[in-house]
A and B are shown apart, each in its own frame.
Chain A
Amino acid sequence: MIRSNLKPAVISAVVVAILTGLLLGVRLDQQGTTLGLVGAGPDVYWKIAAAATFLFFFNLFRDQLGALWKGLPGLPKAPAKLTSLGDKPALRRLFWCFMIAAAILWPFLSNRGGTDLGTLVLIYVMLGLGLNIVVGLAGLLDLGYVGFYAVGAYGYALMAMYFDVGFWTGLIIAGCLAALFGFLLGFPVLRLRGDYLAIVTLGFGEIIRILLNNMTWLTNGPNGIGGIPKPTLFGLEFSRRASEGMQTFHEFVGISYNSEHRVIFLYLLALLLVLITLFVINRLLRMPIGRAWEALREDEIACRALGINPTAVKLGAFTIGASFAGFAGCFFAARQGFISPESFTFIESAIILAIVVLGGMGSQIGVILAAIIMTILPEMAREFDEYRMLLFGLMMVLMMIWRPQGLLPMSRPHMELRT
């Protein structure tokens, strides 16, 4: 047994040495124009040796380990409570009410930093939910989602700069603009096969970023756009002094100015947008188009034979998904007050995709949970910041191998025939 595994064990150890020896073991060191090398330090060598030894023994005792693994009780399929939750509408409703109440109370229980972080989470929740329509529900892999996010953000920033458009008008226009981009891109490319679509959308996202970087006359290039107006509440501003013809919130209510009001207001605004998103998606799922998305994912040929136009249905998902990215982008621009093309790189698309994947494609509660994990973990473990993206890539691979359906797989609301 062990002898037959000796060869693969040695090979795997040697492969590890080849993989890591040069690339991790030494470090290129640039001194002026000369290129030198420095050793990476004993800790790296120890790690490499440990990895090689581990793989050696792992492969050597593979059969024994496999037997042991089988003996262990299986991993829990999904948290049992949450699965049963999906079955009972009353409990489900109660759970959601509790979640929403907790979310509303959060800024009043937390400090300013916590509220800010909450707003960030909510932006990612919104992006995740939007991409979830495209990837999870319609089964279209969109790697350029950040492009629509950028369209929304720049759409609002530019309109505010050139036409003095306020936040609320801007929000609607940004959503429509992103939807228009989604429509124009989707119209020709949605006929393509899934993996081609992924690359084309990736290319689209890059084109948007390159254009934003280079159309300096319009977008100010890499320097970005600043001074983007903040959102207002029915015309009330959240600043110390009102700008011309406006009134501030603290004067109107008759309390003293506190900069935290604005942070809380932004948080609640983001929460409102997320709730609207959730509402819309839940309705969509129960509508003909939501059913068609699932049917299309299962069997496109049968759909065509039944008179469903696959391109139109996919285009619906693509456009709706894009419009949510547009809303999120507009809110992001208004919250930051400053945007530059750097916020809209491919990595951002990958993070949003990871949220969808981690959460369980198609599952909304899963997406929310994943957005919280993905945003808060790196904040909590600052010392791991260096390794954040590394772990994140690793997680995507492991997730696909271990649990491609995500942490909380979707339980779609099924239509019932009442008898």
Chain B
Amino acid sequence: MAMPESLYYLIQQLLNGLTVGSTYALIAIGYTMVYGIIGMINFAHGEVYMIGSYIAFIVIAALAMFGIESVPVMIVAAFAISMMVTSAYGYSIERVAYRPLRGGNRLIPLISAIGMSIFLQNLVRIAQGSRDIAMPTMISGGIDIGPQDGFHATLSYMQMIIFAVTLITMTLLTLFISRSRMGRACRACAEDLKMTNLLGINTNAVIALTFVIGAALAAVAGVLLGMYYGVINPYIGFMAGLKAFTAAVLGGIGSIPGAVLGGLLLGVTEAITAGYFSTEYKDVVAFGLLILILLFRPSGILGRPEVEKV
């Protein structure tokens, strides 16, 4: 039975959308976890993702200069070092820009976060230049879906890696949160920060850990998207951060499964818009979606509605 071309086109868009969507989900988790615990939007999170991409490029370039050409080694090293560096960033950002401001007016940490975001973006711009940096494709090829001779969809190996890594990361995170002592403390903090503190749990450590985990996940996304697109510049963090935040709100901010669902949904929506209408307007559709969701379901798809305390 021959399937129509349009179906393969749709499959291709869905695959592309799910690929980008799963990296949105990885970044969105950082937003959602921080929001769940201290109720603030970590505006600088997108920049952490961008830094993750840069570190990955630097590591890969360094290994290539030392003559190490093995792709698995390069990728593993990029992940490890990038996650380590961004973890340090996540920790430092919280320590410097947010911890002194905890409690009090919610706008103040948000403005501080915007300042942090501008600072980091320009730090990278000054250190690494504002030009696009491109990396040769490391992993090419893929599996064709559909007829070889006609129009078909392709699931590239890179996309498969993205799916696999996202899946593994999510599983590890879920296990960590549901099984470990620290994970339990995280959940307790999300429920009631003050009470958890009174019970003798070091909430400062939990909050710092949340930032570190979020930053490490952003680094994973940074490495994956960096290799997938092959091009980075210091400004990619802004848009990616905004998209990931949209994903977090879409799924219900504070909820980790919600962030994943929101990320995938946003990725697919964008891919469909780009594939059927116009690439230029995919960002407009993404923000339009954000506004609509906030209007009709402010708590998101999986979020709990908030009861106002009178």
Contact = CB atoms under 8 A, between A and B. Distances in A.
Query: Do A and B have CB atoms closer than 8 angstroms in the complex?
Result: yes
Interface of A: 15, 18-19, 22-24, 26-28, 30, 33-37, 40, 44, 135, 139, 141, 143, 188-189, 192-196, 198-200, 202-204, 206-207, 210-211, 213-214, 301, 346-347, 350, 353-354, 357, 386-387, 389-390, 392-397, 399-401, 404
B79 interface: no
B281 A210 contact: yes
Interface string B83-111: 01100110110001100110011111111
B20 interface: no
B268 interface: no
A189 B291 contact: yes
B106 A195 contact: yes
Nearest to B118: A393
Contacts, number: 182
By CB atoms of chain A within 10 A, which of B54, B57, B123, B242 has the most?
B123
By CB atoms of chain B within 10 A, which of A143, A392, A393, A394 has the most?
A393
B85 A19 contact: yes
A266 to B, nearest CB: 30
B236 interface: no
Interface string B50-87: 01001101111110110000000000000001001100
Given A28-B57, A301-B310, A395 B115 contact: yes
A206 B287 contact: yes
Contacts of A396: 111-112, 114-115, 118
B61 A36 contact: yes
B249 A196 contact: yes
B295 A189 contact: yes
A352 to B, nearest CB: 12
Nearest to B133: A28
Given A18-B85, A393-B118, A35 B64 contact: yes
Given A28-B128, A36-B61, A387-B122, 13 more contacts: A15-B91, A23-B55, A30-B131, A35-B64, A37-B62, A195-B40, A198-B41, A206-B287, A346-B238, A393-B119, A393-B120, A400-B111, A400-B115
B101 to A, nearest CB: 6
A34 B61 CA distance: 9
B85 A35 contact: no
29 contacts: A18-B84, A19-B85, A23-B123, A28-B54, A28-B57, A28-B133, A35-B60, A37-B61, A37-B62, A44-B127, A189-B291, A189-B295, A199-B242, A203-B291, A206-B287, A210-B280, A210-B281, A301-B310, A354-B115, A386-B126, A387-B126, A389-B118, A389-B121, A390-B123, A393-B119, A394-B119, A401-B100, A401-B112, A404-B101
Contacts of A198: 41, 107, 110
A242 B33 CA distance: 64
A203 B124 CA distance: 24
Contact-residue size bin, chain B (C-beta under 8 Å from the other chain): 35 or more
Closest A-B pairs by Cβ, 9 of them: A396-B115, A393-B119, A393-B118, A203-B287, A400-B112, A390-B122, A397-B115, A214-B280, A18-B88
Contacts of A196: 249, 294, 298
B288 interface: yes
Contact of B127 (A40, A210, A357, A392): A40
A350 B109 CA distance: 15
A199 B136 contact: no
A186 to B, nearest CB: 12
Contact of A30 (B134, B278, B298): B134
A143 B63 CA distance: 41
Nearest to A201: B291
B290 A203 contact: yes
A23 B89 CA distance: 11
A188 B115 CA distance: 28
Given A390-B119, A393-B119, A400-B109, A27 B129 contact: yes
